[in-house]
Amino acid sequence: MSTQTIVPAALSEITKRIQTHQAKVGIIGLGYVGLPLALLYCEQKFPVIGFDIDERKVSTLRQGGSYIYRIEAGEIQQAREQGFDATSDYSRIKEMDAIIICVPTPLNEYHEPDLSYITNTAASIAPHLRAGQIVILESTTYPGTTEEVMVPILEKGNRLGLKAARGDSSTGAEFYVAFSPEREDPGNTTVARRDIPKVVGGLNPSAAELAAALYGSIFNRVVRVSSPAAAEMTKLLENIYRCVNIALVNELKMLSLRMGLDIWEVIAAASTKPFGFHPQKNGIFAPDSSNSRARSTSTCPIS
């Protein structure tokens, strides 16, 4: 029996299109995460279409304008000249090779994750899915969301009866799924976005391969993990680590204020330890803050 791997036509086709920067990239959710991502793909000469349900954003982008302070209108105009378009028309999903979802995932009034933006997006994509496309979720969410929440909606709602590719074998009549968390650090001008390693977890090896190739076109380093859930958990670890440490330092800040100590002097001194200590520079109360009643955790933005 031959051990040669059979690469389905749809898979080899999309791989080639990614490698030659011809793959059509659809970014869903043109906010703080989605719009810069769309521009990164435009810079690398990929054909890009942005999808958003907010007609004002779509219209602003189509007129060459920007609504994000750190993105100049000129960058949008340059992308437009290279073919970037924005739309609220989900039927254009069928034109895409890769679909990257960057919609919000806020907490609801009970502090539970509100996944309605993800489920609504999946339901809107599903009717237009075709074999060989890859769908990647970037929204911050709990482990299991991609496989247990998003994939069933995509499978149930697509007109062709396509299934997400799982396991090692592939028939070619499937779509591919992965999760890759966003690591944007708003306001950070010291690390170029392409230098932030991109973590990727595919639902199967082919999906991981495609997602790694896609992100490898715009990021200098792609870190592959074994599953979408592992990638989702990676993002949670990073966020929780940051929140816990910001809360800790804010508690010590309040204590220091009462003791007449300067917490920034203490942080600077602790930072000289060459291992085991990582200073949190964002989210700490301002040095002159005297609001000792403020809850420290309220300064920890979750993104």
Ligand X SMILES: NC(=O)c1ccc[n+]([C@@H]2O[C@H](COP(=O)([O-])OP(=O)(O)OC[C@H]3O[C@@H](n4cnc5c(N)ncnc54)[C@H](O)[C@@H]3O)[C@@H](O)[C@H]2O)c1
> Please, what is the minimum distance in Å from the beta carbon of residue 156 to ligand X?
17
Quote the CA–CA distance of 73 and 80 in Å, as a whole number. 11
Stretch 95-114 residues interacting with ligand X (CB under 6 A): 102-105
Quote the CA–CA distance of 302 and 82 in Å, as a whole number. 34
> Please, what is the minimum distance in Å from the beta carbon of residue 168 to ligand X?
31
Q: How many residues make contact with ligand X (CB under 6 A)?
A: 26
**Minimum CB distance to ligand X smaller for 89 or for 265:** 89
Q: Does 36 bind ligand X (CB under 6 A)?
A: no
Residue type, 206: S
- Position among 66, 121, 145, 296 found at the interface with ligand X (CB under 6 A): 121
Cβ-based burial of 246 (10 A; exposed 0-12, middle 13-18, buried ≥19): buried
Nearest CA among 29, 214, 230 for reference residue 222 = 214
Radius of gyration (C-alpha) of the chain in whole angstroms: 21
Q: Does 117 bind ligand X (CB under 6 A)?
A: yes
Quote the CA–CA distance of 53 and 44 in Å, as a whole number. 26
> Please, what is the minimum distance in Å from the beta carbon of residue 115 to ligand X?
10
Stretch 177-196 residues interacting with ligand X (CB under 6 A): 182, 184, 186
Nearest CA among 294, 276, 280, 275 for reference residue 266 = 280
- Position among 17, 24, 57, 224 found at the interface with ligand X (CB under 6 A): 57
> Please, what is the minimum distance in Å from the beta carbon of residue 117 to ligand X?
4
Quote the CA–CA distance of 158 and 129 in Å, as a whole number. 6
**Minimum CB distance to ligand X smaller for 93 or for 254:** 93
DSSP code for 93:
G
Q: Does 53 bind ligand X (CB under 6 A)?
A: yes
- Position among 8, 31, 127, 172 found at the interface with ligand X (CB under 6 A): 31
Quote the CA–CA distance of 181 and 48 in Å, as a whole number. 20
- Position among 10, 18, 25, 28 found at the interface with ligand X (CB under 6 A): 28
Reduce the secondary structure of 164-226 to three states and give it as a string.
ECCCCCCCCCEEEEEECCCCCCCCCCCCCHHHCCEEEEECCHHHHHHHHHHHHCCCCCEEEEC
Q: Does 139 bind ligand X (CB under 6 A)?
A: yes
> Please, what is the minimum distance in Å from the beta carbon of residue 33 to ligand X?
3
- Position among 8, 21, 32, 289 found at the interface with ligand X (CB under 6 A): 32
**Which residues of the chain form contacts with ligand X (CB under 6 A)?**
28-34, 51-54, 57, 102-105, 117, 120-121, 124, 139-140, 182, 184, 186, 303
